[in-house]
Amino acid sequence: MKGILKECYAGKARTSWSRGRYQINNHNRDTLNSLKGTITAVETEEGISLVTVDAGGILLSALVIDTPETAAYLVTGTPVFAVFKETEISIGKNLSGGLSLRNRIPAVITAITGGKILSSITLDVNGHTLCSVITTRSAVALGLSVGERVEGLVKTTEVSLMQTAA
């Protein structure tokens, strides 16, 4: 897996795997998938907030274990980065019908690097590069190819928010 992860972000190898869990607070946003946006809505209940971010016309949702009362940045109009790991972005093709995933990111495949077990799918999202790591079996089953339009799919619970520098 380490080779495929290095393909996603050339020169930005991961160094903080701990018992299989990625430590987001040990890395900056350049080592994760990130889209810059602005908070457009915050809905809060019992210490958690569902935050909507407009990232260049793409609406993203993030579940945050904080509220506007405990985290001052959780207000509409605040610029943030929506960040998520490359292993948390699934690929959808020709989707129709209902889907519980809130974060559907239209993209174009710009590169595919296949390994025996895992494949790295590089995506262009309005000029921004995102990376997805999926099983090679899934990449083959979907018949993915460079230049193809797909959707990146990320669960709301897998998106974190990072404040932009002041």
CB atoms within 10 A of CB 10: 7
- Name the token pair of 133: 């790591």
**Domain spanning 2-85+155-163 has what CATH number?**
2.40.50.100
Topology of domain 86-154, CATH: OB fold (Dihydrolipoamide Acetyltransferase, E2P) (2.40.50)
Which pLDDT belongs to residue 58?
97
The 10s digit of each residue's pLDDT in 121-160 is 999 999 999 999 999 999 999 999 999 999 999 999 999 9
Which pLDDT belongs to residue 4?
60
Which pLDDT belongs to residue 2?
58
Which pLDDT belongs to residue 31?
66
Query: 160 vs 33, 42, 81, CA distance in Å?
Result: 10, 14, 8
Where in the sequence of the chain do the CATH 2.40.50.100 domains occur? 2-85+155-163, 86-154
Q: Which residues of the chain have pLDDT under 50?
A: 11-29
Percent of the chain with pLDDT over 90: 75
Which amino acid makes up residue 79? P
Which pLDDT belongs to residue 97?
85
Query: 96 vs 50, 92, 106, 151, 154, CA distance in Å?
Result: 25, 10, 14, 12, 17
Instruction: Of 45, 77, 39, 88, give the one whose Cα is nearest residue 61.
Output: 39
